[in-house]
């Protein structure tokens, strides 16, 4: 919807996946798992793992340059950079500043948002709102993760699920009739903060020998509990967003869900009444890349010409926090 007479459009998209592919069979050598279990329970076949000298900002910078190129912009044009990540290069400064430095976007204001797998949906809504106020004319928004840096490679219940990657989009102010951004619905519930988290290394449990001895520096998750909450929250966020826009679910050409598990995606699509073939799935190739899943999927859809002017696309995500949310886009 248009506010202050300012439309918001997606001017360009980009993504970057590290070169190294780790298959399910490769993981059989690390932990007591097998390709059949991973495919059946998650849908994942392989994931990408970043090199030692590729922190989240390096992945994000590459995706950003590709998005800027698609938008016909140079880094100096960028007014605002927002990064969504739970694997920052350092505790501080924020990862958006590192991306800024890497790409030379010297005129941008930079900050990061920590909303786990919902991160991109959050920053899409934040950046669009900041453009709608007239404060900024454009924003480079990036979901980037090096989850391999917080994974316990001896824990089969988590290490098979995640991967590294980045996706970016350039949002820009435009004429109202070219508006792409329809609306968003975001939600959070801190009461569930312990079911998907990194227990140690922060200010409540600073890094120590004890943290290392007990593996508290790694991602920990109550998988089944997260699964149920993921389906319910994604269905609610998607339904409320569609209702807010006043459209029918049949009008949604692409449901672009957070890529954690094909069973979650199929269940969300079924409950929403979206045909399975309209729910985009690429987790087979990349696993769960947290804040990066949706912008990577968006870039793949755009680059493969799978979306036409007038098509609605619904991003919907769920993650640690808990956080969840949806953005509705009408492609132009
Ligand atoms: O990004 C947002 C957050 N993440 C998610 O949305 C993930 C949500 N959760 C899930 O996707 C699923 O809960 C998982 C894929 C994590 C797990 O699937 P599940 O069907 O819930 O399996 P489970 O945890 O109930 O485990 C079933 C069995 C257990 O063995 P027993 O106790 O039945 O003997 C596990 O020990 O599978 C075992 N198991 C494995 N076996 C082979 C757990 N991990 C593995 C593994 N390989 N990697």
- Which of 163, 178, 193 finishes a domain? 178
Domain CATH for 169: 3.40.47.10
Is residue 259 situated within a structural domain?
A: yes
- In this structure, the answer to whether residues 156 and 229 fall within a common structural domain is no
What pLDDT, on the 0 to 100 scale, is given for residue 267? 98
Whose alpha carbon is nearest atom 14 of ligand 1?
223
- For residue 101, what are its two tokens? 């430095």
> In 3D, which of 167, 137, 128 has the Cα closest to residue 325?
128
Structure confidence at residue 12 (pLDDT): 98
* Separate counts of helices (H) and strands (E) for the chain: 11, 13
Checking if the pLDDT of 115 tops 90, the result is yes
Atom of ligand 1 lying closest to residue 261 CA: 11
Specify whether the CB–CB gap between 261 and 85 falls below 8 A.
Answer: no
Residues 6+ apart with CB under 8 A from 241: 183, 184, 185, 314, 316, 326, 327, 328
* Position 81 pLDDT exceeds 90: yes
Name the catalytic one among 174, 258, 261, 327: 258
- Whether residues 123 and 84 share a domain: the answer is yes
CA distance 160 to 243: 36
- Concatenated DSSP letters of 45-93: -EEEE--TT--HHHHHHHHHHHHHHHHT--GGG--EEEEE-SS-SSSSS
The predicted pLDDT at position 8 comes to 98
Q: Yes or no: say if 126 and 8 are a contact pair by the CB < 8 Å rule.
A: no
Q: How many domains does the chain contain in total?
A: 2
Beta-carbon count within 10 A of 88 CB? 22
Q: Are residues 150 and 217 in the same domain?
A: no
Model confidence band, residue 156 (pLDDT cutoffs 50, 70, 90): very high
Instruction: Give yes or no for residue 315 having a pLDDT over 90.
Output: yes
Specify the pLDDT at position 319: 97
- The answer to whether residue 1 is domain-embedded is no
Query: What pLDDT was estimated at residue 1?
Result: 85
Q: What domain range includes position 62? A: 7-178
**One domain, residues 39 and 90:** yes
Distance 222 CA to ligand 1 centre (A): 9
What is the structure's pLDDT at 114? 97
Q: Among 287, 182, 173, which Cα is nearest to 243's? A: 182
Total-model pTM? 0.97
pLDDT tens per residue across span 221-239: 999 999 999 999 999 999 9
Q: Which of 178, 194, 229 is the last residue of a domain?
A: 178
Domain co-membership, 38 together with 53 = yes
Return the pLDDT at 16: 98
Which one of 24, 97, 110, 117 is the catalytic residue? 117
What's residue 234's pLDDT? 98
pLDDT score of 79 more than 90:
yes
Q: Are 149 and 275 within one domain?
A: no
In a shared domain, residues 101 and 40: yes
On whether both 204 and 152 belong to a single domain, the answer is: no
Q: Are residues 109 and 223 in the same domain?
A: no
């Amino acid at each position: 919807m248009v506010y202050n007479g300012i439309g918001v459009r997606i001017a360009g998209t980009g993504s970057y996946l590290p070169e190294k592919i780790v298959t399910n069979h490769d993981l059989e050598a690390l932990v007591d798992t097998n390709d059949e279990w991973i495919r059946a329970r998650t849908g994942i076949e392989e994931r990408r793992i970043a090199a030692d000298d590729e922190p989240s900002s390096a992945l994000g910078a590459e995706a950003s340059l590709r998005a800027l190129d698609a938008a016909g912009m140079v880094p100096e044009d960028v007014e605002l950079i927002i990064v969504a990540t739970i694997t920052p290069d350092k505790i501080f400064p924020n990862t958006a500043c590192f991306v800024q430095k890497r790409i030379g976007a010297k005129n941008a204001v930079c900050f990061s948002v920590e909303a786990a797998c919902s991160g991109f949906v959050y920053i899409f809504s934040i950046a669009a709102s900041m453009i709608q106020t007239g404060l900024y004319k454009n924003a480079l928004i990036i979901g980037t993760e090096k989850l391999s840096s917080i994974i316990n490679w001896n824990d089969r219940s988590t290490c098979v699920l995640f991967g590294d990657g980045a996706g970016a989009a350039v949002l820009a102010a435009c004429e109202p009739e070219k508006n792409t951004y329809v609306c968003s619905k975001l939600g959070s519930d801190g009461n569930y903060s312990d079911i998907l988290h990194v227990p140690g290394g922060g200010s409540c449990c600073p890094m120590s020998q004890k943290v290392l001895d007990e593996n508290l520096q790694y991602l920990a998750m109550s998988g089944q509990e997260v699964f149920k909450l993921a389906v319910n929250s994604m269905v609610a966020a998607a339904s409320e967003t569609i209702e807010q826009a006043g459209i029918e679910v049949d009008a949604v050409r692409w449901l672009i869900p957070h890529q954690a598990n094909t069973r979650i995606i199929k269940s969300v699509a079924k409950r929403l009444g979206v045909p399975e073939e309209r729910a985009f799935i690429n987790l087979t190739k990349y696993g769960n890349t947290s804040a990066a899943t949706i912008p990577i999927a968006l870039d793949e859809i755009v680059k493969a010409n799978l979306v036409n002017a007038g098509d609605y696309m619904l991003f919907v995500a769920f993650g640690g926090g808990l956080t969840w949310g949806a953005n509705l886009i009408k492609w132009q």
